[in-house]
Structure 1
Amino acid sequence: MLQELVIRNFAIIEKLNIEFNSGMTVLTGETGAGKSIIIDAVGLLAGGRGSTDFIRKGTKKAVLQGMFSLDKNRETLELLDQYGIEHADPTLILQREIQASGRNVCRVNGSLVNTTILKQVGETLIDIHGQNEHQELMQADKHLGMLDEYARVEVQPLLKSYQAYFERYQVLRKKFDQKKAHEKEWVQRVDMLKFQVKEIEDANLQSGEEEQLNSEKEHLENFQKINSALQAAQLALESAEETPGAIDRTGEAMNGLREIEELDDHYKAISEVVASAYYQLQDAASEISGELDGMEWDEGRLDQIEKRLEEIYQLKRKYGDTVDQILKYDQKVSEELHNMIDLESDEGQMEVQLDELKTKLEKLAHQLTAARKKAAQQLKRDVHEQLKQLYMDKAEFEVHFDTTQPTKFKTSGVDSVEFYLRTNPGEKMGPLTRIASGGELSRIMLALKTIFAKSQGVTSIIFDEVDTGVSGRVAQAIAEKIKLIASYSQVLCITHLPQVAAEADHQFFVSKTVKDGRTETDLSYLNDEGRVQELARMLAGSTVTKLSIQHAKELLKMAHS
């Protein structure tokens, strides 16, 4: 149920806060006052298509916010869980900003969502029916879904089971058809994958191998330079024949300083530095000697490294920029090759599985059709009963199953369904979308909505002038139907008919004023006296008379007696 609606800078509405109650609420007022703008705001809040044209002139953005009570709306709760939106509180808050740049900022319970998710959630909360927008009724492809909704208890378990098998059948059928249709390409692909896998695996690549080889190559290419530098360093450090090396001369300096280091702390510090240098030079000389002893020129090894690096380079040109990428590619194509080989070996098994799935689908589809046809007969009776109450007792309604098309498995089964109508005796029964007039569509929609209101679970149903073009006893019948729907779901209704307004539990008066040269929409909640005055205006027009006031009081009394 919509509990509160906040509108800021939307069309001619600068600021509006509306609190709604359960039951039936009507919005009345003169044409152009902004009643439909309020419904437009609710529609956008529920994920409808937005436009910067809705932003009030001179402002940067339009802001809409609605607070809904969740009650036990299972479909809404499932969606919130699916998208990870918290809903500990029994209320749900939808928010939408339409910015001048065209950007939409949408939130559900504070979580940022896109307009697609906002619409999915909104459709479980709000059902809007407009004067010229009979939605599902005027879309023949929606009629099957409406029938399934009507027969939810009988149809949904069968449909769910059928769809599970249908999904498996589709996946397997696609693989099988692809293989058959592209047999030559399939074989070529298998051969190519086999070649690639063999080429990579024969190379026996190791992660980090290329870096190690490049390092070794650099070392070998600089062998002479390294050897000469180490020998020169060794000669400078160690004694050769009569010439003392750097180590011996540093040792002499160390021994000389030791003789005076006790005389002064400064001498001792110098002695320690020289001693440290002496021992470090000895260590360095030892390491240089070890390096020279271990050095060995191997021209064959350099050739091996260069050949291996060239092999890696050629593989990198084909399969990746690095050895690790080549190994990942090998893993990917190996898995693809494995799957394709499995499919080749299982081709016969695939055909068996397809036949089994097809048999199961045919059985479930037949059960679905039977359940739908049974429900269609009951729906026909229920609609006729409702249409009688709406003074269309001569009209005939039926659910037409198209049997002229070849049987084809679809997500919804094998049935093609459309609502048919005959409005007068002697006329031909035909598609409702072509037979019904505007006034008749309004009544048929109300008949179906009365039947579906219990099962659909939508918490708020909005009727935007669906009573246009009717009067008298038909208007009263429509009012009573809307009132009946309001016993199952909250109903918000824009109307120009006093009969409909009188049936409401709550009534708002929508008006427009001019402030500082700008048109603004105002909204006021009507008490009993206010409702009498507004009903009298609706009955009499611009001039309210005592008779119209008396008539208004009688309408209210009859509606709530």
Structure 2
Amino acid sequence: MLVHLHVRNFAVVRQLDVDLHNGMTAITGETGAGKSIALDALGLCLGDRAEGDMIRPETDKAEVIASFQLAAGSPATLWLSAQELADDDDPEHCVLRRVITREGRSKAWINGCPVNLAQLKQLAPLLVNIHGQHEHQLLTKPEHQLELLDTYARHHDLLEEVSGCYQTWYQLRKQQKLAQQQQEERQARAQLIRYQVEELDQFALKEGEYQELEQQHKRLSNSSVLQEDSQFALNALYEGEHNNAYSLVQVALNRLEQQLENDPALEPAVKMLNDASVQIEEAARELRHYSDAIELDDEALAQAEKRVTQAVQLARKHQLEPAGLPEVHRQLRAELTELDEAEAALANSDEEVQAAAQSYRHAAARLSAQRSAAAHELSEQITRSMQALNMPHGRFVIAVEHQANAPATRQGTDQIQFQVTTNPGQPLQALAKVASGGELSRISLAIQVITAAQMTTPTLMFDEVDVGVSGATAATVGKLLRQLGKHNQVICVTHLPQVAAMAHQQLRVDKTTDGAHTETHMTQLDDEHRVIELARLLGGDQITDTTKANAKELLATAC
């Protein structure tokens, strides 16, 4: 619950510090005193839009600090823990702080940690639920009616399931539609690639094969020259009849070996000539084998030349080097596989879409059944509250129309309509067509009180929701709010003494001015001052013994 509110330089507030308690708190004051200022400031602290004109004149910034005491294991406590924003020393305590500047910039903190507005807005509904004085204007809107019913039914998990099924179905239909739109283009692409893959399959060039083909073609086309030159080298080195290299080295070697005795310094040269002789002999052997192996094969040359030419032509088609054909072959095969799989997926997509549609429809039907049950229960409660609120013949019905094949939405397929009759013999009609402004306000109040009782939010605020109510009806409103205060902290801005008297505690708002500056103050009233304030609400500025007596009687009735 909200235990303390600190406001500084906000609108007409210079500084305000308010302690709040369990049960029902009434905030009263004269018209124009700023009774709703605390609620407005709290709304800012909970993430409402910040504007420069919210700041008190002649100051640079405004500050609002709200302190809450949380229950162990409450949604707010769990959220703070999950966000790592809990107070380590007191995890069941939460302090929100918001500062805004005249330029409209703002900063926010949770338990001293800087946060963004999105985080404030996530936490806000777990701490406080604010019901505004104009909320009855929303009551005729179908989307608001649906939200109220779902809030009462408390089937959040089922709503999430329906929304998830809808998202799955929507995405599958979207993918199917896109695939269908792309089908013609995809089929044309597949036809081209299939032809290219078949052509490359027939050619079947292996990795590294083109380099080997090039080398083979070069060797075969130069076989005559290679044989001629290798034979010439063989003769020059070893097999020539006159002055071949081997014979010359042997002659030189023999003569130098004979001189070793005269000068051992010739030993290195002799060794090298020996090695040279062996190398020449081995080179000659290799050349002989090479020369013998050379074939003048015109057919092999023609085949090699043909394959190289085909490789070059195919490579030119794909705009790459011939050596890259195996890689592009692999890529085209993979793309063709993907295209074929896409066609197969499209053929099977109808089954997937139908399955998703069926899952959605089943979930939507279960949601509708729960809504119908909650609608019946809520209708009876609102009817009883209407009759207690000076509409003795009032009857309220929430009609839930479910059509299995209705257009799908994230909220299901139900059409919700609040229907009412306030006079005997009148048929039920749509709320907007039947209820007057005062009746609509009372019906709205009844709905707000009943649905608020279903909420896990610990603090409920009502901003003059009793507008248009008076007399015995006002007393009933006060009783409803006081009853609600048994389970929730209720803070109610009111102008009705019958409502204020039902509160467990009361705050009075006053506005003062010195002619140059205006300030709003909020005061906690003791029993004596409560009597005076209630007497003022009952009789206006003239507080008499009679109005005081009536005020004491109202307070006694509340106890």
Task: Flag whether TM exceeds 0.5 (same fold).
Answer: yes
Name the counterpart of 2:553. Answer: 554
Q: Determine whether 1:496 maps to 2:495.
A: yes
Which amino acid in structure 2 is aligned with residue 30 of structure 1? E
State the Cα deviation string for residues 117-156 of structure 1 (Å, max 9, x = none): 322221222222222233753432022232222222xx44
Which amino acid in structure 2 is aligned with residue 162 of structure 1? V
* 1:134 counterpart (105, 126, 136): 136
State the Cα deviation string for residues 470-497 of structure 1 (Å, max 9, x = none): 2111111111111111112111111111
Structure 1 unmatched ranges of 5 or more = 196-201, 205-313, 316-332
Name the counterpart of 1:44. Answer: 44
Q: Indicate conservation of the 8 Å contact 2:402/2:413, yes or no.
A: no
Which amino acid in structure 1 is aligned with residue 102 of structure 2? A
Name the counterpart of 1:329. Answer: none
Task: Describe the shift of the 1:39–1:166 C-alpha distance in structure 2 as closer, same or farther (beyond 3 A).
Answer: same
Task: Describe the shift of the 1:148–1:69 C-alpha distance in structure 2 as closer, same or farther (beyond 3 A).
Answer: same
Q: Indicate conservation of the 8 Å contact 1:449/1:485, yes or no.
A: no
Task: Describe the shift of the 1:360–1:60 C-alpha distance in structure 2 as closer, same or farther (beyond 3 A).
Answer: same
Q: Indicate conservation of the 8 Å contact 2:131/2:448, yes or no.
A: no
Which amino acid in structure 2 is aligned with residue 381 of structure 1? E
Name the counterpart of 1:438. Answer: 437
Task: Describe the shift of the 1:466–1:158 C-alpha distance in structure 2 as closer, same or farther (beyond 3 A).
Answer: closer
Q: Distance in 2 between matches of 1:518 and 1:66?
A: 26
Q: Distance in 1 between matches of 2:391 and 2:192?
A: 71
Query: What is the correspondence of 1:449-528 to structure 2 with a 5 Å cutoff?
Result: 449-515=448-514, 517-528=516-527
SS of 1:470's equivalent in the other structure is: coil
Task: Describe the shift of the 1:188–1:383 C-alpha distance in structure 2 as closer, same or farther (beyond 3 A).
Answer: farther
Task: Describe the shift of the 1:109–1:429 C-alpha distance in structure 2 as closer, same or farther (beyond 3 A).
Answer: same
Q: Indicate conservation of the 8 Å contact 2:47/2:117, yes or no.
A: yes
Which stretch has the larger CA shift, 69-78 or 336-345? 336-345
Query: What is the correspondence of 1:11-30 to structure 2 with a 5 Å cutoff?
Result: 11-30=11-30
Q: How many residues align?
A: 430
Q: Distance in 1 between matches of 2:461 and 2:356?
A: 44
Task: Describe the shift of the 1:190–1:15 C-alpha distance in structure 2 as closer, same or farther (beyond 3 A).
Answer: farther
Q: Indicate conservation of the 8 Å contact 2:375/2:400, yes or no.
A: no
Which stretch has the larger CA shift, 537-546 or 107-116? 107-116
Task: Describe the shift of the 1:346–1:127 C-alpha distance in structure 2 as closer, same or farther (beyond 3 A).
Answer: same
Q: Give the drift of 1:84.
A: 4.4
Task: Describe the shift of the 1:336–1:557 C-alpha distance in structure 2 as closer, same or farther (beyond 3 A).
Answer: farther
State the Cα deviation string for residues 506-556 of structure 1 (Å, max 9, x = none): 111111222582111112111111111111111121121111111111111
Name the counterpart of 1:108. Answer: 110
Task: Describe the shift of the 1:526–1:430 C-alpha distance in structure 2 as closer, same or farther (beyond 3 A).
Answer: same
State the Cα deviation string for residues 324-354 of structure 1 (Å, max 9, x = none): xxxxxxxxx9999987664333223322222
Q: Distance in 2 between matches of 1:455 and 1:2?
A: 19
Q: Distance in 2 between matches of 1:334 and 1:45?
A: 61
Q: Indicate conservation of the 8 Å contact 2:67/2:93, yes or no.
A: yes
Q: Give the drift of 1:175.
A: 0.9
Which amino acid in structure 1 is aligned with residue 128 of structure 2? I
Q: Indicate conservation of the 8 Å contact 2:25/2:504, yes or no.
A: yes
CA RMSD of aligned residues (A): 3.4
Q: Distance in 2 between matches of 1:46 and 1:391?
A: 36
Query: What is the correspondence of 1:161-200 to structure 2 with a 5 Å cutoff?
Result: 161-186=161-186
Q: Give the drift of 1:12.
A: 0.6
SS of 1:112's equivalent in the other structure is: strand
Length-normalised TM-score, structure 1: 0.69
Task: Describe the shift of the 1:487–1:407 C-alpha distance in structure 2 as closer, same or farther (beyond 3 A).
Answer: same
Query: Identical aligned pairs, as a percentage?
Result: 36
Q: Give the drift of 1:357.
A: 2.2
Structure 1 or 2, whichever has the larger Rg, is 2
Task: Describe the shift of the 1:81–1:341 C-alpha distance in structure 2 as closer, same or farther (beyond 3 A).
Answer: farther
Q: Distance in 2 between matches of 1:43 and 1:425?
A: 42
Q: Give the drift of 1:65.
A: 1.1
State the Cα deviation string for residues 196-225 of structure 1 (Å, max 9, x = none): xxxxxx9x9xxxxxxxxxxxxxxxxxxxxx
Q: Indicate conservation of the 8 Å contact 2:445/2:466, yes or no.
A: no
Structure 2 unmatched ranges of 5 or more = 196-204, 208-318, 321-331
Q: Distance in 2 between matches of 1:450 and 1:25?
A: 15
Q: Distance in 1 between matches of 2:459 and 2:100?
A: 23
SS of 2:438's equivalent in the other structure is: helix
Task: Describe the shift of the 1:159–1:509 C-alpha distance in structure 2 as closer, same or farther (beyond 3 A).
Answer: closer
Q: Distance in 2 between matches of 1:334 and 1:34?
A: 76
SS of 1:456's equivalent in the other structure is: coil
